[in-house]
Chains A and B, each alone.
Chain A
């Protein structure tokens, strides 16, 4: 990573903080209205920052969040299947975070009532990393983690 970019990112720290406050609106997305995109969370470079920007300082570890279709070892980091099921009642959203990616947050899925708290997608992983699934259920946050080993990174080149 070049130095100028890093400085630029740091100088934006203050801006990001304001954006975090603004992004609190993520907690109550207006369904079917203007589309929200939590830029503070998506710009985060550490999982702590990303969790904070998502409104969760210290999520509770949970065994009721299960990964499926998620490999132990991914040969190609450009396409890593990730599936997450939450067995926590009143699950409202599921977020996928990849600890060692340049931008930690990969995706946030809003689960309206009537939709099963199970989602599957494919993500890019720069290197071997912990993958976190952050679940918001009834206003509380829960986290599960799985390590995925990557033999060929998917962000550079």
Chain B
């Protein structure tokens, strides 16, 4: 199981700013190990962010997203205390969901 994400959601005026830091290797499939063997690709493919039950962002990622991915965006209609849920799924089928409240 991967390490928890860091999620920060704060109300700025009438929009909610969401910042997420995930913990993932995001192995590109381009690198080789000390024996010259290609290290297989292993990365987050899908990310979904919901506010309560409303989807506010969904993303498809490729190998080019950096290790320990960072994501930031804003949406309207959030209120203090609303539940922000972030879920990712990687190429191995692993998934992780973390929740934070809008501050």
Contact = CB atoms under 8 A, between A and B. Distances in A.
B interface secondary structure, majority: strand
Given A114-B77, A118-B73, A78 B67 contact: yes
A156 B39 CA distance: 11
Interface stretch (A12-20, A58-66, A96-104): A96-104
A interface secondary structure, majority: loop
Contacts of A47: none
A108 B59 contact: yes
A87 B45 CA distance: 27
A119 B46 CA distance: 16
Interface string A110-143: 1110111011111111100000000000000000
Interface residues of A, number: 40
A3 interface: no
A22 interface: no
B72 A101 contact: no
B55 A119 contact: no
Contact of A36 (B57, B60, B71): B60
B55 A122 contact: no
Interface of A: 29, 31-32, 35-38, 42, 78-80, 83, 98, 101-103, 105-112, 114-116, 118-126, 154-157
Interface of B: 15, 26, 28, 30-31, 45-46, 48, 54-67, 69-77, 89
